[in-house]
Structure 1
Amino acid sequence: MAPSSPTVAAWALGRRLREKRDQAGLTATAAAKRFGITSAYLSEFEHGKKNVGEDRLEALLDAYEFDKDEADELRVLRKEAGRRGWWSDYTGLFSDELLRFFGYEHGAESIRTYGSDIVTGLLQTEEYARALIEAGSPNLRLAEVDRRIQARLHRQNRLTGEDPLQLSTIMSEAVLYQQVGGREVLAGQLKYLGDLVEQQPGNLDIRIVPFEATGHEAMGGSIFHLMTFPSGKLPTLLWQETVTSTQVITDPMTVREYHLAYTEVTKAALDRKSSLLRIKDAYGRLRSRTTVET
């Protein structure tokens, strides 16, 4: 079972309340007027961006006629949503949207991720992460860079433990040769990836799309993550990243399109064993060139 996440709890609570409002035939505007709140406040807690107050929840439970068992479930969710996640220590350093992503990621059961340009954050070494952060934001102070790296490494705790995150990631073979941070940094990253694949076969699957692949649906697209959660009442969530923006998407049709794209990318990628050999080969080539030049 994935660990409890206040972000996921707030999202689950908001969805349940919104579904019940729809069943009651109330529009958001009508519901806000009926309960004496603004439409903006209603939208925020229905979308999991804000926790609903205890008194307000009790009024909603009564108005929407939840049965006792379901009402008790929602009270538990509200309590969980009020707790502090580790990412709350980084408020002000990251955007609210990115902090929400950390919360979803922490409470996810599985993540399928695609990114053609770089190693995904959950699998980055400290040195590789530092090189990316410094290159992407050259004006950051050293203390801020260090805190960003600290947060990234904290996220990686979900890959270990009694019930680790199930992570499947697909990346282009080009990632194995892009010298982020220089040869030594890349060499350390490649060795780390190879070691992880061998040490964590039960919850980690890394696939490489080889140079010889002729194409796939996600080629040239943005980084995206498909997250699933322990609760059967929560849908798959899509997180999309571009150079200028990040976005959480729950629209079923859009999520389905990305699911199909991921399936097609998987077909273009090497299998687990061949991907590991490709990683080791890239590492060996890099070390060999470094030794010759030295």
Structure 2
Amino acid sequence: MGTLASEEGGEDLASALRRATAMLAEAGVPSPRADAELLADHLLGCGLGRLRSLAVIGAGVPDGFWELVEERSKRVPLQHLTGTAHFRHLTLSVGPGVFVPRPETETLVTLALDWISAQSPVLAAPVVVDLGTGSGAIAAAIAAECRASRVHAVELSEFAYAWAARNVALPEVGGRVELVLGDLRTAFPELDGQVDLVVSNPPYIPAGMVPREPEAAEHDPELALYGGGEDGLELPLATIASAARLLRPGGFFVMEHAEVQAEALSARLARDPAWTSVTSHRDLNDLPRATSAVRVEASPVEELRP
């Protein structure tokens, strides 16, 4: 548990949280009160319930609190300051050099796990590939929640790979993820035609769509954001090509993308004879955020181009 600064002649925790909330709100932080409490809890390690109790009884301010508030006011991501990001049932390690997983991506894991569940008991030990794993969030979550799965994940960035290595080593994951450093375009040739499920949240932001939030625009690595080309579809299309190569007939593919890309990607998959059952899925904000399809051909398909 962290150290509480002396409150003698100074500010107590409740007052500090109010002042920090006002500072963060003025800086445009979307959830200022929650962030102020999370920063204090990061230092104290007591849990939010206990933190609020300490505020009520007039406890002191934890050492280092205002330094963290100042950094958050500069729109440094909360997760970079705490070193953690919560994703489904996991607490992941994150920091500079890796894309911070978003709540919307949890829907992608739900779609993948629902498909696996629908195949039971025929699919006893699903083989899963996560293309462009980033922090390892998707791969780790699937392995943790589907203990029969064998998950393979690939990441191109050495910085992100280092974070992913920590996350796939979590006890909840149980050593069920094979992580490799490499390109999603060519990854896992030894698994061609043998994979049951391919899931991906590839870089997909179009060139002209700079993220509005400073946390993403200034701190998420460009390699994890921009999909290539004016429409951002180069890497999503490469992901589709790799999925077609890897999946067995009847295998399932699901990929996250920008809402403005949903129609183009659905149309591309629908006119390709390698795919059937093309479906668009909406995220927590009711935006078309993911597209899925089922592999119907075993032979390689011609590479898709924007």
Give TM-score scaled by structure 2 length.
0.28
Highest RCO, 1 vs 2 (Cα 8 Å, sep ≥ 6): 1
Question: Which structure shows the higher strand fraction?
Answer: 2
Question: Which structure shows the higher helix fraction?
Answer: 1
